Amino acid sequence: MDEDLQITRNPLVRVLYVVLGFVFLLLGIAGYLIPGLPGTVNLLVALWFFSMSSERMHRWMLTNRYFGRGLRDYKAGLGIPRNVKIIAVSAIVLSISLSIVLAIDAWWLRLVLIAVGAYGIWYILSRPTRETVLAERAAID
């Protein structure tokens, strides 16, 4: 069994965690398709819920061909790959810019959207960059 797994013994709590795991899994997948909805953060939350409730789903998430590597890297402290950071920041800037220009007339809502986008960009850029972490680790070894 994985050292991260701490499956709860209470069957009601386990069912609740499984349900919440699937909710956040769906939100995470939707986050890769819907601008402004976080993907990876929701997948990390889903992974945590599955680590408390379902060894099978926890393993599935970590070995998933679409997002498993990113989850494993993040858990290992490797951060976010540089190209993913570039794509994510570009997507935030593009989607917020289009929303402000084409869809939102209220100035206060524009400010809210800009603030949320700025926070998202800050969060992404403040995470370690995978290539930098690997280079630092290689230099230590």
Which of 51, 76, 101 finishes a domain?
76
pLDDT at 36: 67
- Shared domain check, 129 and 62: no
Which of 26, 48, 76 finishes a domain?
76
Spell out a b/e string for 50-60, using b for 16 or more CB atoms within 10 Å of the CB, else e: bbbbbeebbee
Give the phi and the psi of residue 138 in degrees, each rounded to 5: -65, -35
- 90 has pLDDT over 50: yes
Over the stretch 4-29, which tens digit does the pLDDT of each residue have? 778 888 999 999 999 999 999 999 99
Q: Six-digit token pair at 14?
A: 């386990």
- Shared domain check, 91 and 115: yes
Looking at the structure of the chain, the number of domains it has is: 2
**Nearest one of 113, 124, 120, 114 to 85, comparing CA atoms:** 124
